[in-house]
Amino acid sequence: MKVFVTGASGFIGSAIVRELINAGHQVTGLARSEKSAEKIRRAGGEVAEGSLADLEILKQNALHADGIVHAAFSHDFMISNDISQFPKAAELDRIAIETMGDALTDTDKPLVVTAGLLGLPLINGKITEESLAEHSLRASETTALKLAEKGINTSVIRLAPSVHDAGDYGFVPFIISQARKNGISAYPGDGRNRWTGIHRLDAARLFRLALEKGTRGALYNGVEDESIETKKIAELIAERLDIPVKAVSGEELNNHFEWLSHFITMDCPVTNLKTKEKLNWEPMNINLLEDLERNYF
């Protein structure tokens, strides 16, 4: 299968590219810099030069592909420490998904879209595959489902807040950097709200399986088999950095976690039972706490 991958040089996307190529697929990856392009070439893929804002490039590569994995999302708000930029990233994402999806009209070519699990509603105490992102700040899932309703073969992988492995530069490394900076390892409130993780190699395999045998309109939960209280994460960080652990709230929470303060308070207990059953997928790598011990300090 000829697969077009956005975000192909990123932390998650690069693992997806390797997984697809190792499974015998041909990959063309979107790259907005020569550094990103070279990374894709070294992995054995071809390069489409451009960004999510280059809609004609997205359209043409979608038309010539047998399937698409959309793993890109602008994280400029993390770099600028300005959460007010998140809606701009979400709008760019929505338009990109619609552009690629429309190019697949009247075909059965699969489009696998990346979304997140934070903030989804609980059903009987868990986020399940039936929990819908109706009020999410990110429009990825709702956009993909609207395409599926139009007959386009779109499915969604909702990833855990921590996709972890050596080289991670997401939420958890930021939490660690704030602990170093402020001299405390903080957690929100009583620390009982739960986060989930997934090793990026397990995530990459999940994307491949969704591309190869996913069903139109399906929602897949990309998580490990356990949820972890934020207090336990903070305690591990405190131990490794030899600093105090502290509960924070209100203004102190906002000052400590900065742009992440919106996300760190969310409770994210998730089940992945239907995802494992439908795609014959099972997490096989170390969990978040084990990975923290091994690769993050």
Class in CATH terms, 2-161+198-225+270-285: alpha beta
Work out the average pLDDT over 182-209.
97
Say whether pLDDT at 293 is over 90.
Answer: yes
Say whether pLDDT at 180 is over 60.
Answer: yes
Helix (H) or strand (E) holding 60: helix 55-64
pLDDT at 29: 98
How many percent of the chain have pLDDT more than 90? Answer: 90
Distance CA 187, CA 19 (A): 35
Say whether pLDDT at 32 is over 60.
Answer: yes
Say whether pLDDT at 90 is over 60.
Answer: yes
pLDDT at 79: 55
Say whether pLDDT at 164 is over 80.
Answer: yes
Q: pLDDT tens-digit profile of 39-75? A: 999 999 999 999 999 999 999 999 999 999 999 987 6
**11-20, 75-84, 237-246, 248-257: least confidently modelled range:** 75-84
220: left (phi over 0), alpha (psi -120 to 50) or beta: beta
pLDDT at 89: 83
Work out the average pLDDT over 122-144.
91
Say whether pLDDT at 27 is over 60.
Answer: yes
Contact 165, 199 (CB under 8 A): yes
Say whether pLDDT at 17 is over 60.
Answer: yes
Distance CA 134, CA 11 (A): 27
pLDDT at 85: 72
pLDDT at 84: 67
pLDDT at 82: 58
pLDDT at 88: 86
Work out the average pLDDT over 232-252.
98
Q: 3-class SS at 228? A: strand
Pairing of strands 67-70, 2-6: parallel
Name the CA radius of gyration of the chain, rounded: 19
Q: pLDDT tens-digit profile of 73-88? A: 876 655 555 566 778 8
Distance CA 153, CA 211 (A): 10
The mean of the pLDDT values for the chain is 94
Q: pLDDT tens-digit profile of 97-132? A: 999 999 999 999 999 999 999 989 999 999 999 999
Does this model's pTM top 0.85? yes
Work out the average pLDDT over 245-249.
98
